[in-house]
Amino acid sequence: NAGVTQTPKFRVLKTGQSMTLLCAQDMNHEYMYWYRQDPGMGLRLIHYSVGEGTTAKGEVPDGYNVSRLKKQNFLLGLESAAPSQTSVYFCASSSGLAGTYFGPGTRLTVL
Amino acid sequence: AQSVTQPDIHITVSEGASLELRCNYSYGATPYLFWYVQSPGQGLQLLLKYFSGDTLVQGIKGFEAEFKRSQSSFNLRKPSVHWSDAAEYFCAVGAYKQGGKLIFGQGTELSVKP
C-alpha cells in the first residue's frame, strides 16, 4: 500500500516551458487535491476533484490545469511556466472523514 | 472569511519541556480540525484530527489537542518534547461537505534545544 505517490520529485523548467505532474493514490479515495507550499504561507489549494471526471478551482488556480480521468490519478499541468510557480507541490487524497493524506511533494524551480 | 491563524512562526523549547502550539480558526460551518507535521524535505503527516465528540483528542507520537469552540481554538500539546519532534507543524480546518478541502495556517517551526 503505497498511499499517495508523486512523479517527478524534482524538476527545473525554463520560463514558458510546460510540464505535467502526476499523482496516484491506491486508497480508493474519492477526493484528490493539488496544493502548493511557499515559505511563510502554509499550503494553498490549487485545484481539487471530488470524483473521477470532476475538477474544481481552489484558492490559487491561475496558470494551472488539472484532469482526473481515472479515480486513482490526478494530473496537474503547467502550460507556460513562470518563475512565480517555483514552489513545492503536494498532492493529497481523502475519503472525507478519515483525514487527508499527502504525497512526498515535487520541488519545481522555474528559471 | 475562512482562515486559520498560527500566531507563532517559530518556537524553541528545551528537550523534556512541555509544548503548546496555538491555532485559531474562522470557519462558518461545523469545522473538522487537523494537525499535521512536516519534517524538512518531507511531506505532511497527520498527527490528529477532530470531527466531533470528546474535545480532547489524542494523536500519534504523544501529541494531543483540545478543541475549544468558544475560543475558536485547537491548540496542540505535548507533555515532554523529544529532539525528534523538531519540525514544522500545520493546523488545518476543513468541512466534509465542501469536498474535504483544507485551509492551512502558516505553520509553526519547532526547534528543540538539548
* Number of C-beta neighbours around residue A104 at 10 A: 16
pLDDT band at B2 (very low <50, low <70, confident <90, very high): confident
Q: What residues of chain A have any CB closer than 8 angstroms to a CB in chain B?
A: 31, 33, 35, 40-45, 48, 50, 56, 58, 90, 92, 94, 96-97, 99-105
DSSP classification of residue A13: E
DSSP classification of residue B97: G
* Number of C-beta neighbours around residue B3 at 10 A: 12
Q: Which of B5, B94, B47, B43 is nearest to A58 (CA)?
A: B94
pLDDT number for residue B96: 66
pLDDT number for residue B51: 86
Percent of chain A with pLDDT over 90: 87
**Test the A interface: residue of B6, B44, B45 with most A CBs within 10 Å:** B44
CB contacts < 8 A, A to B, total: 58
Residues of B in contact with A56 (CB under 8 A): 99
The helix/strand/coil state of A46 is strand
